[in-house]
Amino acid sequence: MKRTYLGEFEELVLLTVAVLKEKAYGVAIADELQNQTGRSANISAVHAALHRLEEKGMLASHLGEATAERGGRRKRLFVVTALGSATLSEIKEMRNRLWNAIGPDTLIPTTI
């Protein structure tokens, strides 16, 4: 399968959608990203990444039910597609191969 390139932020957003499962929507994704990485995530950047991932076929979305806390507005909920799941698996395998190729002694700090 030909893999579509993902930037680091897109990969993090895709992973976060997978973590949140059926509760993945913009604000929840931004909050979880901050909890997991310690980096603040701009909601506009999250929405842009979600849109790109949906265009690439790695995410699908639908509107949830209206909620009182949102003034009757509906949330757009995201789920990882089969392509998104396969892409995450490929990325994980590639990263594991690279980490395994480094070897345990390579990361020992040395003085230059």
CB neighbours of 89 closer than 8 A, spacing ≥ 6? none
Total-model pTM: 0.84
Q: What is the dihedral of CA 27, 29, 31, 33, to 10 degrees?
A: -150
pLDDT tens, N- to C-terminus, the chain (112 residues): 556 789 999 999 999 999 999 899 999 999 999 999 999 989 999 999 999 999 999 999 999 887 767 667 888 999 999 999 999 999 999 999 988 888 777 766 666 6
First to last CA, the chain: 42
What's the CA gap between 17 and 19, in Å, rounded? Answer: 5
Domain architecture of the chain: domains with CATH: 8-101 (1.10.10.10)
What's the CA gap between 43 and 73, in Å, rounded? Answer: 17
